Amino acid sequence: DAFVQRVWEWVDEYGTRIRAQLQKIGCSCDWERDRFTLDEGLSGAVREVFVRLYEKDLIYRANYIINWCPRCQTALSNEEVEHKDLSGHLYHLNYPLADGSGRHVTVATTRPETMLGDTAVAVHPEDERHSDLVGLNVELPLTGRTIPVIADEYVDPEFGSGVVKVTPAHDPNDFEIGRRHDLPEIDVMNGDATLSAGAPEAYRGLDRFEARKRVLADLENEGLLESTESHEHSVGHCYRCHTVIEPRLSLQWFVKMKPLAEPALEAYRDGRLRFHPARFGNIYENWMVNVRDWCISRQLWWGHRIPVWYCRNADCGDPIVSREDPAECPKCGGGLRQDEDVLDTWFSSWLWPFSTLGWPDETEDLKAFYPTHTLVTDPGILFFWVARMVMSGIEFMGDIPFTDVLLNGVVRDSTGRRMSKSLGNGIDPLAVVDQFGADAMRYRLIASSGLGTDLQLDHEDIENAFRVGRNFGNKIWNAVRFALPYLEGWDGTLPETDAPCLADRWILSRFNRAVLEITDYFERFRLQDAADAAYHFIWDDFCDWYLELSKHRLRGDAGEEARAAAAGTLGTVLDGWLRLLHPIMPFITEELASHLPKAVVRDTLVMGPWPAASAKLADAEADQAFDELREFVSSVRNMRAEYKVDPGRGVPVVLTGVSGPLQTGLEHEGAGVRTLARLTEIQYADSVPEEPGAQAVLRGGTQVFLALEGLVDLSKERERIEAEHERVKSFLAQTRAKLENKKFTAGAPPEVVDREREKLHSLVEREALLVEKRGALSRSP
RNA sequence: GGGCGAGUAGCUCAGCUGGUCUAGAGCGCCUGCCUUACAAGCAGGAGGUCGCUGGUUCGAAUCCAGUUUCGCCCACCA
């Protein structure tokens, strides 16, 4: 509660400050330029990290071509740029040679306005077509400038004319070429992408797209626009305001990434760091290998100020990087000016695994919770966040922050688009929580997205999307509510009995298997399978069969010893199962567990132990007997439904050739079975009665006869038996063909062959019985 | 341009190391039930040539190759 209180105070405080700030500057949009500083919370750690990296020479300031959003007027990192395929134009421009020969070279560009900043044209050094040009000059149209022809390996002779215009201040590759050849860098644009004083006077002040039209028109007038062709290419856009970005030469702060990436890559390669699903490891590795320096300065009004100061006295010296705000210049005592820029938000996020625990102080929390085990996150921020947390963890804590990274799927709408606020196709989680409950939402999300796969939900039909979770919550709520009265006085143990009843043996065996399965699924991050296993255990096995069969014992109808045994089993299974489900539906399981007898639940589920499997509970005999019991009940129910027997009406059944497991099952659970199938009695006979009735043959060979005088239509019964016979026949044919194939019996593993033989054996028996029945029916009137 | 994922019932998804798969679940659909935990439930049922083509194998939804559709990530080709 104290923590939540603190969070709300923080939100209030900063919310108020943000609103005040926005009002002050009359801002209705988030790209207006102003700033305020986060001077609390984690900024101490952020500043510490900046200073340490700077001292290790891992932070530097440099002029470089960065991605620039002219609308936000800030630098963007590569990850903040989204590329969209657009159909645009490729323009071919002619630049006349300056030797008066009348010859020209042709260059291609998608951004003609940048030609105003060209400072060379380049050809490949081994391109024989153009080797005579190298060293000559060309006249740069519209500018009155003359620029050289240079040779550089970067140029691809296969592409276009093999001649490239070089604009060092407006293109990253050209920038590199310019540095290699010591070319001037002419910046022709302002921060808002209007043409600057670097451009000829005629274009100054024009917006970049306006300038593009003007340049093209002017070139056309001079006969220097060779041609225009349509061109598909991908164009970078700002991830926030979707404006086309402009590569821009500017002075920014960078983090050197190679030295940080190497140990982070090593951690993955030697297996200390694992990704689920594993394929994300390749993506991580690829990024780490090709990592580029990280531009961390942003020209925004929101964020941590860069802890760098400059002396107002120009020429005084290096920037001052400091943990404390310096009052004056340590060299000359002059006034200082702090760097205007703030840090990229990820520069604080990458410290999250330790900065939130009090770092750089050596706190108890830090000792207890660093490193942790699993990070669960969206695959979209693998580079932004995950990779960088690994790097900072190794750099500042000496160890990776977590060993396992679980990348969950993305929720999409019914047409497959990612849900987002701007598309308006999202689902408000709080509305879902209101209508269906937090657990219902959580269950649905976990249960329908397999490891590494996305999930589609229809945002226009929330009912359909989330009712599964709500219904499941209701089901277990009702089941526990039903069970609670029978658990009064239960001491939390499983009673020792000489002759435990079959249903108890079976549900315990089944529960034991559920513990093993679900534990295994969680350990392998197969959350969907864990949810599915928990769901079917409680709904199908526990509610539909175990509870129904145990009601009479729980009421005490079978005596005190049987009641206590049933109650103990009921409690043991429920208590353990609530723990298994707890990670998936934390609230409802915690609530329900709190109603179990105090002797059992001493602590909350979230703090309590995970259920342990016990080999003693595994019971193959009970499993098989129960399976056959279930098949028997189902077959009776099916026949009753086929012949539309009044649900309230009990009927007798006659069994012939009862299999061993079913015999065992009926001896122990006959009373319960009669209730489930609405049977008045279960008779055993050596042969099937001659009178008309509904018949079935179970997998174990048991023949079931339901005397339904007056209800059974012989032709319908013939059809039923016929259909059943056809199914068994085709299955039998397949099995037989397999076993007659020498290559199969020789090549397949012995246990597979044995299994097929057993299958064949029981199928042969069933088929014979069905043939006999079919014959009998066709002889009947 | 490079890399990756997905395509299985009307819908949303499972099916992991090829053989209990005669391919499952939930929702939806059809039939019958208000059976004292639960009608947001119970019981029964219908519904699929596993995107397409070829290959490997005794055996393929599963492995391989090709192909097609959708989606994602990465990338400086003017």
The amino acid at A92? H
Distance of CA A247 to the CA centre of its chain: 33
What are the beta bridge partners of residue A295?
A: A254
Q: Report which residue is nearest nucleotide B3 when distances run from CA to C1'.
A: A283
- Structure tokens belonging to residue A51: 């200073």
Residue A138 contacts residue A93 (beta carbons within 8 Å): no
Q: Report which residue is nearest nucleotide B6 when distances run from CA to C1'.
A: A453
Q: Report which residue is nearest nucleotide B58 when distances run from CA to C1'.
A: A744
A73 φψ region: left (φ > 0), alpha (ψ -120 to 50), beta (else): left
The amino acid at A658? V
Stated in angstroms, how far is A70 CA from B23 C1'? 56
Cα A426 to Cα A366: distance, rounded to the nearest angstrom? 37
Stated in angstroms, how far is A444 CA from B20 C1'? 30
Cα A552 to Cα A558: distance, rounded to the nearest angstrom? 7
What pLDDT score was predicted for residue A14? 61
Sheet architecture: strand order including A308-311: A320-321, A308-311, A336-338
Q: How far is CA A422 from CA A419, A454, A497, A774, in A?
A: 9, 20, 64, 67
Ranges under pLDDT 70 in chain A: 1-42, 301-302, 421-422, 599-602, 780-781
What pLDDT score was predicted for residue A30? 40
Q: Which residues, at least 6 apart from A711, have a Cβ–Cβ distance to it below 8 Å?
A: A643, A644, A645
What are the beta bridge partners of residue A92?
A: A108, A227
What pLDDT score was predicted for residue A599? 66
The amino acid at A14? Y
Residue with tokens 């626009």: A225
Residue A375 contacts residue A406 (beta carbons within 8 Å): yes
Q: Supply φ then ψ for residue A585, to 5 degrees.
A: -130, 75
Residue with tokens 């649900």: A647
Report, in ranges, which bases of strand B sit under 7 Å from a protein C-beta: 3-6, 11-16, 19-20, 22, 25-28, 31-33, 35, 37-38, 40-45, 57-59, 70-78
What pLDDT score was predicted for residue A35? 35
Stated in angstroms, how far is A532 CA from B45 C1'? 24
What pLDDT score was predicted for residue A1? 57
Q: What DSSP character marks residue A207?
A: B
For residue A371, cis peptide bond before it (omega within 30 degrees of 0): yes
Q: Which residues, at least 6 apart from A719, have a Cβ–Cβ distance to it below 8 Å?
A: none
Distance of CA A585 to the CA centre of its chain: 18
What pLDDT score was predicted for residue A317? 77
A342: nearest Cα among A298, A388, A287: A298
Sheet architecture: strand order including A372-377: A274-276, A402-407, A372-377
Q: Which residues, at least 6 apart from A779, have a Cβ–Cβ distance to it below 8 Å?
A: none
Cα A480 to Cα A117: distance, rounded to the nearest angstrom? 76
Residue A420 contacts residue A376 (beta carbons within 8 Å): no
Q: DSSP secondary structure string, A74-87? A: EEE-GGGEEEEEEE
What pLDDT score was predicted for residue A776? 83
Stated in angstroms, how far is A756 CA from B20 C1'? 9
> Which of helix, strand or coil describes residue A493?
coil
What pLDDT score was predicted for residue A449? 82
> Which of helix, strand or coil describes residue A525?
coil
Q: What is the pTM of this model?
A: 0.85
**Range A298-330 burial, b when 16+ CB lie within 10 A, else e:** bbbbebbbbbbbbbeeeeeeeebbbeeeeeebe
Q: Which nucleotide is nearest to A161 (CA to C1')?
A: B78
What pLDDT score was predicted for residue A86? 75
- Structure tokens belonging to residue A480: 């526990």
Where does residue A289 rank: exposed (0-12), middle (13-18), buried (19+ CB within 10 A)? exposed
Residue with tokens 């990779």: A387
Cα A8 to Cα A442: distance, rounded to the nearest angstrom? 24
Q: Which nucleotide is nearest to A156 (CA to C1')?
A: B77
Q: Which nucleotide is nearest to A110 (CA to C1')?
A: B78
Q: Report which residue is nearest nucleotide B42 when distances run from CA to C1'.
A: A544
Stated in angstroms, how far is A206 CA from B78 C1'? 24
Stated in angstroms, how far is A383 CA from B72 C1'? 15
Stated in angstroms, how far is A450 CA from B8 C1'? 15
What are the beta bridge partners of residue A687?
A: none
Where does residue A667 rank: exposed (0-12), middle (13-18), buried (19+ CB within 10 A)? exposed
> Which of helix, strand or coil describes residue A494?
coil
* DSSP-H helix ranges across A290-362: 346-349, 352-355
Q: What is the DSSP pairing of strand A308-311 with strand A336-338?
A: antiparallel
Q: Which residues, at least 6 apart from A14, have a Cβ–Cβ distance to it below 8 Å?
A: none
Stated in angstroms, how far is A574 CA from B32 C1'? 32
Stated in angstroms, how far is A453 CA from B7 C1'? 13
Q: DSSP secondary structure string, A89-107? A: EEEEEEEEBTTSS--EEEE
Q: Which nucleotide is nearest to A114 (CA to C1')?
A: B78
Cα A443 to Cα A455: distance, rounded to the nearest angstrom? 13
Q: DSSP secondary structure string, A13-70? A: HHHHHHHHHHHHTT-SSTT-S--EE--STTHHHHHHHHHHHHHTT-EEEEEEEEEEET
Stated in angstroms, how far is A44 CA from B16 C1'? 47
Q: Report which residue is nearest nucleotide B40 when distances run from CA to C1'.
A: A471
